[in-house]
Structure 1
Amino acid sequence: MNYKAAPYSKFHKMLFLCAVLGQIACGFALGIAGTAVTEGKADLGLSTFWVGLLGAGTLIGLAGSLVVGNLADKIGRSKLVLLDMAFFTVFSIAQFFTSSVAVIMALRILIGLCIAIDYTVGSTIVSEWFDPETAPSYLSKFIIYWTFGYVLSFFVGLVMSNLHTDYHIIFASSAIPGAIAAIARITLGIAESPSWMASVGRVEEANKLVAEKLGPEYKVVAEEKKEEEKVSVTELFSPKYRRNTLVGGMFYACQVFPYFGVGIFLPILIGQLNMGDANTSSIIYDVFCMAGAFAGIWLCARMSRRSFLTSTFFGAAIALVIMIIGQNISIVITVIAFAAFALIMSIAVVMEWPYPPELFDDRVRGTGVGIVVAFSRIGAALGTFLLPILMDSIGGTGTLIVCAAVLVLGGVVCQLFAPETSASYLKKVAEKEAAAN
């Protein structure tokens, strides 16, 4: 019997735990950057340019997902997932010992590279061990844990700011969730993906692993590939894959541009808009982000991929337009629209975990997800880098207009080109075709 049909077991539970602990650490590291940079701005002598660049440093490192995804298709998934949180912790601690802007920037990029492994390879290995029909549900739950880490960083940052904590400590605080994730992975271990092993000709070895983890009645059901068959980045732009590659990259990039740009430098944005107390507005944002994660999981299981993507893109854009109009009318309208934006964007990012792996088959999945995440990090880094610069040059209103335009672009691309990949939809199509024949 196909190992992917095996019931949810202790092995699956431990693998999922190792994956989501990494997601908490990733969310925390990305969120804490805004507070650390804000607190360290004076001591480090940062210009607006460097504020944006340091804030985007981790996201720039995440562009390395292109490299790690391809590496995962060549050497496997488990080694990368096993070690990345250990390196993440070391790089986080190293931030405590330097006051050099260049060194901090380098460390933020290296932390981003570690996060790239979790985003790219972590989601891939879970999708390849779990049942294809239930894997999207588990992958969509990543957002709860990632958002928990992201929101936690805001509250930790708020406490540290009120206590006037040194920025070195704020930067290094991401070592705590990183160390927890690293210890869990080293202790519990990360089993290699059987479908990847089979795709490179190691079928017998893959079946032994499956028997050990799930039972002797299960095995890999996959066509054995020639060992010399290699995966290249250029293959992702061949006629077979290019539509999925470009849609995956565009949807992800257009989604994270406003999400990270607004989220990481939230206090700066709130300060320029008619939104009352900055701390209250930040708490509202965090609460609705957390609520959106749960709502997104519920909706992800009930909506088609295309409908989910287009509705969240256009819904978030409408919320920003109302914010732009509302700031000249009433603080109540502005805050409600702001809460709606936080809710919708948090719902939207749920699709970042199940959708990219669904766009590619087993043999190229690591490289495919890697290149999609790389595109997304360009969008995220641009949003984070440009937001403080845009705020200085065109103000809060102009910045929101740019974010809304990016969201509309993403919605249009998905409306025109996004393939439907949900298991329930594809099953219905197969049933209709079988009935017709």
Structure 2
Amino acid sequence: MTSSSSGAPPIGGAALRPVIGVTLVAALGGLLFGYDTGVISGALLTIESDFRLSAFGSGVVVSSILVGAMAGAAVAGNLADRYGRRPVLVVAAGVFTLGAALAALAPSAAVLTAARVVLGLGIGIASNLVPVFIAELAPPRYRGRLVGLNQLMITLGIVLAYVANYSLENVTHSWRWMFGLAAVPAVLFGAGMLLQPESPRWLALNGRTERARAVLIRLRGHQDVTGADAELAEMTGNATGNAQAGPVPAARGRWRALTARSVRPAVVAGIGLQILGQASGVNTVIYYAPKIFESSGLGSSSSILATVGVGIVNLVMTPVGMAAVDRFGRTRLLACGATVMTVALAGLAATLAAGGQNSSFAWLSVLCVVVYIAAVATTLNVVVFIIPSELYPQRIRGTAMSATMFSNWTMNFVVSLTFLSLLEALGGAGTFTLYAVVCALLAVFAVRRIPETRGKSLEQIEAELAPRARTATAAER
């Protein structure tokens, strides 16, 4: 086993417990993300009955959470760069709690839609800042797995939402209980974050060196003061370099800084990953799996059963990706996963074209979807939050993550909105052939545009990307 690149000795065993504890508390934001995203699937049936919603009205209730998520992602980064990661995550917990209570007590569809927007705000903030917060306090050797825990908690939250939907199905006004239950982890998230330290990197950048040192000693174990000091020296050296380049810019300046040539390679890699990742069809398969299976020839009950199986595969395979990301690296893992995704979707398209409504082909379609979801869970879903949380310079990391996650949620909204229209216009075979082409582009993009960050400190990554940006600038000239 090699030592971390910060110069500190290897960290393991009991020394990891403090940082794992902080990570678990922060990852409750991911659990709420998953639960509030997934709970609508079971709640909608009784909501439609209670409020007598039309198909359009149901669509508004479902999609309103994405509008909130886009807004939350857009504002979270600037707030976090200005006030710190921890206080904004505490605010997110309050937003989750308010949204859950408002949804549970909603007297009308309009109020429920507003509550879903509020929940979306919490999701947007959490999707932005939880990966950044974990990445900034994690030891380089374990950063991929620790940030990946956020994705595991998202997946677990979705499964818990399905369990709640099933358990409360026969309860009067069951949807109110389904939404209200989310207040419990939201309160735990907020209370837990109040007890956690601020990101040591944010503290160092803002001149609070002694506080940053105390946090590092707490996180790395009190017996590793030397290692904590070495890590702090790297952070403060980076902060000094940032200070020489100019003070931390105000909000408007941070947005302008995203267009600077020195930052461009990181921004292209981070935002490009979000756009291609969402355009690969991952959420359409999750959202519309029963419809896909029915179109392949399965009956209604078999389609629902197959969808449950897809959810289980998604949950089980996520830890596999968490274990692999620090062993094989982000770029290689993503490129291999995107290749498997391409093959699986091409196979699904061929099966749908050949089988039509023939049930003998139906389970081949299920197999293709399972392989696709397994590849997504072990690769794309693991690295989609890890990579951008590592690439961006410290001075504008929060703002850059806002732009990145805004592009993620916007593309999610566009793809979800257009899927049924594509299915009607191109058929299942044509639609999934299109998604397969996007997956192939994602594999090429990973190799050509996303730098490897495995085992490197965030300061090393920032330093290495600067020459890469200068090379790109020289080539443009």
**1:74-113 mapped onto 2 (5 Å cutoff):** 74-113=82-121
Match of 2:390 in 1: 358
Which one of the candidate residues 139, 155, 160 is aligned to 2:163? Answer: 155
Contact 2:67-2:117 at 8 Å conserved across structures: yes
1:299 is the counterpart of 2:318: no
**What RMSD over aligned residues (CA atoms) do the two structures have, in Å?**
3.1
The more displaced of 67-76 and 255-264 is: 255-264
Contact 1:56-1:382 at 8 Å conserved across structures: no
Aligned-residue offset at 1:22:
2.2
Match of 1:433 in 2: none
1:16 is the counterpart of 2:41: no
Match of 2:339 in 1: 314
Which one of the candidate residues 324, 329, 353 is aligned to 2:349? Answer: 324
Match of 1:407 in 2: 439
Please give the per-residue CA displacement for 1:352-382, whole angstroms capped at 9, x wherever unaligned.
2321112113222222222211111112222
Aligned counterparts of 1:269 and 1:193: Cα–Cα separation in 2: 43
Match of 1:419 in 2: 451
Aligned counterparts of 2:8 and 2:290: Cα–Cα separation in 1: 46
Aligned counterparts of 1:141 and 1:249: Cα–Cα separation in 2: 21
When residues 4 and 36 of structure 1 are mapped into structure 2, their CA distance, relative to the original with a 3 A threshold, is farther
Which one of the candidate residues 245, 251, 262 is aligned to 1:240? Answer: 262
Contact 1:33-1:264 at 8 Å conserved across structures: no
**1:378-393 mapped onto 2 (5 Å cutoff):** 378-391=410-423
When residues 89 and 248 of structure 1 are mapped into structure 2, their CA distance, relative to the original with a 3 A threshold, is same
Output the TM-score relative to the length of structure 2: 0.79
Contact 1:272-1:395 at 8 Å conserved across structures: no
Contact 2:34-2:158 at 8 Å conserved across structures: yes
SS of aligned partner of 1:353:
helix
Aligned-residue offset at 1:245:
1.1
Q: Count matched residues.
A: 426
SS of aligned partner of 1:420:
coil
The more displaced of 388-397 and 25-34 is: 388-397
Aligned counterparts of 2:23 and 2:68: Cα–Cα separation in 1: 24
Contact 1:4-1:129 at 8 Å conserved across structures: no
1:199 is the counterpart of 2:218: no
The amino acid that maps onto 2:440 is V
When residues 343 and 209 of structure 1 are mapped into structure 2, their CA distance, relative to the original with a 3 A threshold, is closer
Unaligned runs of 5+ in 1: 431-437
The more displaced of 293-302 and 282-291 is: 293-302
Aligned counterparts of 2:263 and 2:213: Cα–Cα separation in 1: 29
The amino acid that maps onto 1:374 is F
The amino acid that maps onto 2:47 is G
Contact 1:52-1:385 at 8 Å conserved across structures: no
The amino acid that maps onto 2:254 is S
Match of 1:30 in 2: 37
Match of 1:278 in 2: 303
Contact 2:350-2:429 at 8 Å conserved across structures: no
Unaligned runs of 5+ in 2: 1-5, 465-477
Contact 1:57-1:105 at 8 Å conserved across structures: yes
Aligned-residue offset at 1:212:
6.3
Output the TM-score relative to the length of structure 1: 0.86
1:190 is the counterpart of 2:196: yes
Aligned-residue offset at 1:68:
0.6
SS of aligned partner of 2:141:
coil
Aligned counterparts of 2:124 and 2:100: Cα–Cα separation in 1: 15
